[in-house]
Amino acid sequence: MTLGAEILAFLEACPMAVIVLDTTGHVIFANAEARHLLHLEDRLSGMGIAELMPEWPLLSGVCTVLAGDRPGCRRLCRVQVISWPTGAETVTAAFLEPVDDERPAGHAAREANLRLRYVIEMLPEAVCVFDANDRYVLWNQKYAELYADIAEHLRPGVAFEDILRTSLAGDGMCELVEDKEVWLSERMKKFHQPVSQEEQQLRDGRWLRHDDRRTPDGGAIGMRIDITGLKQREDWLRQLFDANPMPMLLCDGDSLAILQANRAAVDFYGIQPAVLLSKRACDMHVDSELQAFEKVLLHLDSDCDARTIWRQTTQDGSERHVLIYVRQLHEGAEHRLLLTVADVSDRILAETEANRLAHHDILTGLPNRMQFYKALEKALASEERGKVIICCLDLDGFKPVNDTFGHAAGDEVLRNVANRLQMHARGHLVARLGGDEFAILMTGERAEAIDLAERCIGAFEQPFTINGLAIRLGISIGIAAADGVDREALMQEADRALYRAKADGRNIWRMTHQDLPVLKRAKA
């Protein structure tokens, strides 16, 4: 903490002993009179005030104490303590006067009063001092200039409430007041508190902070601090917060209660502001992620850039995928979290759709060859690999449909084929490998595979309708069981069985093991 050169010069020239303390109670300055009075020379600087005055703290007012660096060398002194803010800190000064001074007490008191007036005139803010009966004792020029409407009425001994009533009765009151009686009652109520701070807007648009503090003798010291710049910055930040197109939430860092929400957040969640402010920052998450997100917020060591995609629900029940940026804010003892929510639902849906298209046939919507092979690999790696069976299916009589009716009609037939196969596959994976070739992956016994093949062949007994004409198609099926072979070998066996079915008359199934009965059907 540093004191201005003008203040140092004034205190050094002061005929009274003066000691200046920092907020920790250590001496940062002592003038020559103080060093002489306490016989400390330069040793005074840096000492704790309690070493010099065991009865410390003496927050304000005038008292008589023993002062000195050693118990046997202390003198009885009259001490007056005043404090004033400088920047973010508070400076405390103690004026000492030995009680055995030969000067008349009245003269000493006048000198002390004069020195106090010098000090408050040097302060950068408007300052006023009151006695225990709330009457004016001192005020500086800045105070008189600020309240020009009552400056002519200020005099020592006039009551603070009387001055306020005089100001309210006139036309030049600088404060912006709606209900005068309510304002006066609230103002006096706060003034009588040990410490009170309130913000007051002036008629000219400026803002003041009233900072009133009671002294131990019942008096009070008031400061009027211009906070117009601070209020403007707060207003700009509020506008930036409210106008931000991204949803933003300000919440308590400990309870996670939502303190503020901007318009974008209200619109995004579809929740009324009052309801949104009754929630916690994690309440919009889906149940399976709520506790995980709560844990993240409560154990933050620093700001958090969004890396995890979370799922939240809105008022209408829809689910959104979001990235959440978290910034920690500290204001004194208050710990706040600022959450900025980025909706990435469209991106996630696009990625999901792209992934689906990469693994599914565009025409029929069935899994494609790549997805079928992945599923087959997974099945062969499972504990039931010995029960893995695949069926390769190929349409009989499809080429004439394309040649006669065109590819659009052929595509419609393929979509209908896919629907019929899925219906009769009863949950087993049906895939389109390409053209008019399909495949089914199942886990079970050979008898179940035969039953599946019979159902699929039976599904083609009903003709397909093309341009009003009934067209009959058949389907040939090759069945292969894993029996310890790998994926490629299994697919080759199923293909060989399919070729046999084609060669043996079509619209039938064949299995690689010939010891099983074969059911023949009429050709399509």
Helices (H), 300-368: 345-359
Residue 154 has pLDDT above 80, yes or no: yes
Tell if the pTM clears 0.85, that is, is over it. Answer: no
- In 475-495, which positions are buried (b, 16+ CB within 10 angstroms) versus exposed (e)? bbbbbbbbeebeeeebbebbe
Q: At 219, is the secondary structure helix, strand, or coil?
A: coil
Q: Return the pLDDT at 41.
A: 65
Q: 39-48, 153-162, 275-284, 305-314: which range is least confident on average?
A: 39-48
pLDDT tier for residue 517 given thresholds of 50, 70 and 90: very low
Give the contacts of 247 (CB within 8 A, at least 6 positions apart): 261, 262, 264, 265, 267, 268, 269, 340, 341, 343
Mean of all residue pLDDT scores within the chain: 85
Asked if the model's pLDDT at residue 142 lies above 60, the reply is: yes
Of residues 72 and 488, the one with the higher pLDDT is: 488
CA dist 11 and 35 (Å) reads 13
CA 128 to chain centre: 42
Maximum distance among all Cα pairs of the chain, rounded to whole angstroms: 137
Q: Looking at residue 451, what is its pLDDT? A: 94
Q: What is the pLDDT of residues 419-463, one digit of tens each?
A: 999 999 999 999 999 999 999 999 999 999 999 999 999 999 999
Residue 106 pLDDT greater than 90, yes or no: no
Mean pLDDT of 292-300: 88
What span, in angstroms and rounded, lies between the C-alpha atoms of 298 and 335?
11
Kindly provide the residue ranges of all beta strands, DSSP E only, lying in 120-205, ordered along the sequence. 126-130, 136-139, 195-201
List phi, psi (to 5°) of 301: -95, -20
Lowest-pLDDT range, 28-37, 361-370, 431-440? 28-37
The beta strands (E) that lie in 202-346 are given as 207-214, 220-226, 248-252, 258-261, 310-313, 319-331, 334-343
pLDDT tens digits along 177-206: 889 999 999 999 999 999 998 888 888 888
The 8-class DSSP code of residue 175 comes to B
Question: Residue 43: what pLDDT?
Answer: 63
List the domains of the chain with CATH numbers. Answer: 5-124 (3.30.450.20), 127-231 (3.30.450.20), 246-347 (3.30.450.20), 360-511 (3.30.70.270)
Cα-Cα-Cα-Cα dihedral sign, residues 432, 436, 437, 438? positive
Q: Provide the pLDDT confidence category of residue 35 given band limits of 50, 70 and 90.
A: confident
